[in-house]
Amino acid sequence: MTAIANPSVSIQDLSLNFGAISVLETLNLDVAEGEFIVLLGPSGCGKSTLLNCIAGLLDISDGRIFIKGKNVTWEEPKDRGIGMVFQSYALYPQMTVERNLSFGLRVAGLPKEEIAKRIARASEILQIEPLLQRKPAALSGGQRQRVAIGRALVRDVDVFLFDEPLSNLDAKLRSELRVEIKLLHRKLENTMIYVTHDQIEAMTLADRIAVMKGGVIQQLDAPQTIYNRPVNRFVAGFLGSPAMNFLEGRLEKDGSNWHFAVEDVRIPLSTYTFEREPTPVPAVFGIRPEHVAFNSGAGWPFTATTSVEVVEPMGSDTLVWLKLGGQNFTVRVTSERTPNNADTVNIGFDPMRASLFDAQTGNRL
């Protein structure tokens, strides 16, 4: 992990236990000034716990947290320079939108004119000016979430923390607000740490994604790097829909050339970039469904003949299920000319696009 000079948020050797259960163990993460970091991972992997530690809503068991160079490990949440937006909007139902937005500022004793100025700015950015005199019950889900974001916005903070802010919204609204959050980040240029288990949100919003599993950051990289060069089988399988194909077999050497072998299939690996000098081990060969093509005689390093088992049209593209080396294998095609059930087809791909993993450790080879 390359060090970041003057990180906006720096988490150092953070551990958190709930009683005897360790949820986070010596976790390290540096977030650059103005960076949009997404914490991505399956349910229960510790995303919210990590965010709540940064916010100061949980007392950590060990480690240190710095925000803007200041050690805030034992600071109150309100003194950390953070604004947090939750999945449940947590608006006060009896207050108007305007009162909801100003509540924290009034408690903090800010002058009236300053409060008015900040509310005007936030409601303009979020386009909620017409809603200011309504109560939350008279708002749609998307409008409520905008108000919740507005409440963080008026606090004029350095760092925004979002915990699955869009997961209560329907798919259409979710994608609209996703774009708004992206524009908001571009406009404000604040540091943002955003929790989600939605890989589309992660891929589209993040400067860098931290993929988590069991309280451990598995990989911290730009979205394209995570997608194209996953460090282990877990990361490879977690991102991508339909999921990456995995073939279980062996890494073998033939003269000076490595190949991947399963049943009668031999996949040459001369175009594959190994992490380090390989050894003959049980291995998993992974390739994404969109990196496989049909019927093109375009001189692929690997081709095979097989038969189609199931064809699934998905609207913009089609998923074709077949067998390779006796194992399930899917191909994603966008062309009009898709094969039919039971057709015999030629498939081809370049192992340059593949990911190879050690079968035992799951680590990239």
Give the binding site for Mg ion (CB under 5 A): 48
**Six token digits for residue 44:** 């229960």
For residue 123, CA distances in Å to 120, 153, 193, 243, 350 come to: 5, 9, 22, 40, 51
Give phi and psi for 191, each to the nearest 5: -75, 135
Name the binder of 43 from Mg ion, ligand ATP, none, CB < 5-8 A by kind. ligand ATP
Q: Which of residues 281-310 bind ligand ATP (CB under 6 A)?
A: none
Provide DSSP, 250-301. Answer: EEEEETTEEEEEETTEEEE-TT---SS---S-EEEEEE-GGG-EES--S--S
47 belongs to the binding site for ligand ATP (CB under 6 A): yes
48 belongs to the binding site for ligand ATP (CB under 6 A): yes
Which DSSP letter does residue 131 get?
G
63 belongs to the binding site for ligand ATP (CB under 6 A): no
**Among positions 43, 256, 316, 334, the unique one binding ligand ATP when judged by CB under 6 A:** 43
d(CA 89, CA 253): 57
Whether the Cβ atoms of residue 51 and residue 65 lie closer than 8 Å to each other: no
Q: Which of residues 198-237 bind ligand ATP (CB under 6 A)?
A: none
Provide DSSP, 145-167. Answer: HHHHHHHHHTT--SEEEEESTTT
166 belongs to the binding site for ligand ATP (CB under 6 A): no
46 belongs to the binding site for ligand ATP (CB under 6 A): yes
49 belongs to the binding site for ligand ATP (CB under 6 A): yes
Name the binder of 49 from ligand ATP, Mg ion, none, CB < 5-8 A by kind. ligand ATP
Q: Supply the minimum distance, in Å, between the C-beta of residue 174 and ligand ATP.
A: 16
Burial (CB count <10 Å: 0-12, 13-18, 19+), residue 85: buried
23 belongs to the binding site for ligand ATP (CB under 6 A): yes
Residue nearest to Mg ion (CB): 48
Q: Which residues of 248-260 are buried (b: 16+ CB within 10 A; e: fewer)?
A: ebebbeeeeebbb
23 or 308, CB closer to ligand ATP?
23
165 belongs to the binding site for ligand ATP (CB under 6 A): no
104 or 237, CB closer to ligand ATP?
237
Whether the Cβ atoms of residue 199 and residue 210 lie closer than 8 Å to each other: no
- Tracing tokens 């009162």 back to the chain, one arrives at 99
52 or 245, CB closer to ligand ATP?
52
Q: Supply the minimum distance, in Å, between the C-beta of residue 46 and Mg ion.
A: 8
* Region for 81 from its dihedrals, namely left if φ exceeds 0, alpha if ψ lies in -120 to 50, beta otherwise: left
Q: Supply the minimum distance, in Å, between the C-beta of residue 88 and ligand ATP.
A: 12
Under rule CB under 6 A, how many of the chain's residues touch ligand ATP?
12
57 or 120, CB closer to Mg ion?
57
Q: Supply the minimum distance, in Å, between the C-beta of residue 98 and Mg ion.
A: 30
**Among positions 174, 178, 197, 288, the unique one binding ligand ATP when judged by CB under 6 A:** 197
27 belongs to the binding site for ligand ATP (CB under 6 A): no
46 or 289, CB closer to ligand ATP?
46
97 or 211, CB closer to ligand ATP?
211
Provide DSSP, 89-116. Answer: ----TTS-HHHHHHHHHHHTT--HHHHH
Question: Positive or negative CA dihedral for 132, 134, 135, 136?
Answer: negative
Name the binder of 185 from ligand ATP, Mg ion, none, CB < 5-8 A by kind. none
d(CA 153, CA 84): 9
Which DSSP letter does residue 355 get?
E
**Among positions 17, 26, 28, 44, the unique one binding ligand ATP when judged by CB under 6 A:** 44
Q: Supply the minimum distance, in Å, between the C-beta of residue 49 and Mg ion.
A: 8
